[in-house]
């Protein structure tokens, strides 16, 4: 990335380069931050330093994808991840979902949790699985845990609430019962009322805007079909990670990874670009960016 030329959490990189009399600088891609945006190289070239830019530019954009998205949109980069059977289910008709994929695939998910700054689920996932939503690899950094819970049904004895003073835990709601809100806040949970126009559900788009304002640059969606469907409907998803296990479970009522009203015509289906396919023992990870025309 282009050396910065402004003060942020650290001093300007251009000052350090000039101070140490570095003769040549090689840059993969320019910094889209308006505070930099070519100014870093301009300063260095003005001081007589040889600068080459655009070296492996596409690869550098891929490495900095989250940063570039956040700095240009002020909204978090959203990755929708799910694990499903070969016949398209994320759980059996009983609700049982442990485990669809094997250990290698689940370890890969922990790497994604380490990469992104927050993880979001719906209240249905919390009630069904009582997840911890932490990063279980070392050295790891736990993501901020986000829950969409319109009526604050999250149990006070859930793992998320019991550990909220150790790992940041934010709950978005629509209708906040004062006593319930106070109890959650006393346990260390940050409660954020963001109702939609109906006043009955969380406004997911507003939640993403809020996260951007709070400098949360990325979100891993690990919820069920309801949350995924709404995020896709609103055009909030940037990347999809679909883990597919070679298992068949059937069931007319077994849940799928994307629900909601759906798309009426195949011609209007969302399409993934820049696909990669990774074998993880018996499982397969298909990953790509949502095409946004």
Residue 139: the pLDDT is 78
Of 120, 118, 128, 119, whose CA–CA distance to 90 is shortest?
A: 128
Residue 38: the pLDDT is 79
Residue 42: the pLDDT is 86
Of 171, 184, 258, whose CA–CA distance to 223 is shortest?
A: 258
3-state secondary structure the chain: CCCCCCCCCCCCHHHHHHHCCCCEEEECCCCCCCCCCCHHHHHHHHCCCEEEECCCHHHHHHHCHHHHHHHHHCCCEEEEEEEEECCCCCCCCCCCCCCCCCHHHHHHHHHHHHHCCEEEEEHHHHHHHCCCCCCCCCCCCCCEEEEECCCCCCCCCCHHHHCCCCCCEEEEECCCCHHHHHHHHHCCCEEEECECCCCCCECHHHHHHHHHHCCCCEEEECCCHHHHHHHHHCCCCCEEEEEEECCCCCCCCCCCCCCCCCCCCHHHCCCEEEEEEEEECCEEEEEEEECCC
φ and ψ of 220, to 5 deg: -100, 115
3-state secondary structure 193-220: ECECCCCCCECHHHHHHHHHHCCCCEEE
Residue 39: the pLDDT is 84
Each of the 293 residues of the chain gets a pLDDT tens digit; together they read 888 887 777 788 899 999 999 999 999 888 877 777 778 888 889 999 899 888 898 888 888 899 889 988 999 999 999 999 999 999 999 988 889 999 999 999 999 999 999 999 999 999 989 999 999 887 778 999 999 999 999 999 999 999 999 999 999 999 888 899 999 999 999 999 999 999 899 999 999 999 999 999 999 999 899 999 999 999 999 999 999 999 999 999 999 999 999 999 999 999 999 999 999 999 999 999 999 87
Residue 10: the pLDDT is 79
pTM of the model: 0.88
Residue 55: the pLDDT is 86
């Amino acid at each position: 990335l282009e050396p910065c030329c402004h003060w942020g959490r650290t001093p300007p990189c251009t000052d350090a380069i000039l101070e140490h009399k570095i003769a040549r600088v090689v840059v993969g891609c320019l910094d889209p931050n308006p505070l930099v945006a070519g100014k870093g190289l301009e300063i260095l070239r003005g001081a007589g330093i040889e600068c080459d830019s655009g070296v492996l530019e596409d690869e550098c954009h891929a490495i900095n994808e989250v940063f570039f998205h956040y700095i240009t949109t002020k909204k978090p980069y959203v990755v929708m991840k799910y694990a499903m059977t070969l016949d398209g289910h994320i759980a059996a008709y009983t609700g049982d979902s442990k485990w669809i994929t094997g250990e290698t695939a689940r370890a890969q998910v922990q790497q994604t949790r380490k990469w992104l700054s927050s993880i979001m689920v719906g209240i249905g996932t919390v009630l069904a699985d009582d997840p911890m939503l932490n990063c279980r690899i070392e050295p790891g950094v736990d993501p901020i845990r986000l829950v969409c819970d319109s009526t604050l049904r999250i149990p006070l004895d859930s793992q998320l609430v019991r550990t909220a003073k150790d790992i940041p835990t934010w709950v978005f709601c629509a209708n906040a019962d004062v006593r319930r809100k106070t109890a959650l806040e006393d346990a260390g949970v940050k409660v954020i009322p963001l109702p939609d126009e109906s006043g009955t559900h969380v406004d997911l788009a507003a939640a993403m805007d809020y996260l951007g304002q709070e400098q949360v640059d990325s979100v891993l969606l690990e919820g069920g079909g309801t949350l995924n469907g709404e995020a896709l409907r609103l055009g909030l998803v940037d990347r999809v990670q679909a883990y597919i296990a070679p298992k068949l479970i059937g069931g007319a009522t077994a849940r799928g990874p994307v629900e909601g009203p759906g798309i009426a015509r195949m011609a209007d289906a969302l399409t993934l670009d820049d696909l990669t396919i990774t074998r993880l023992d018996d499982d397969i990870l298909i990953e790509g960016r949502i095409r946004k025309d």
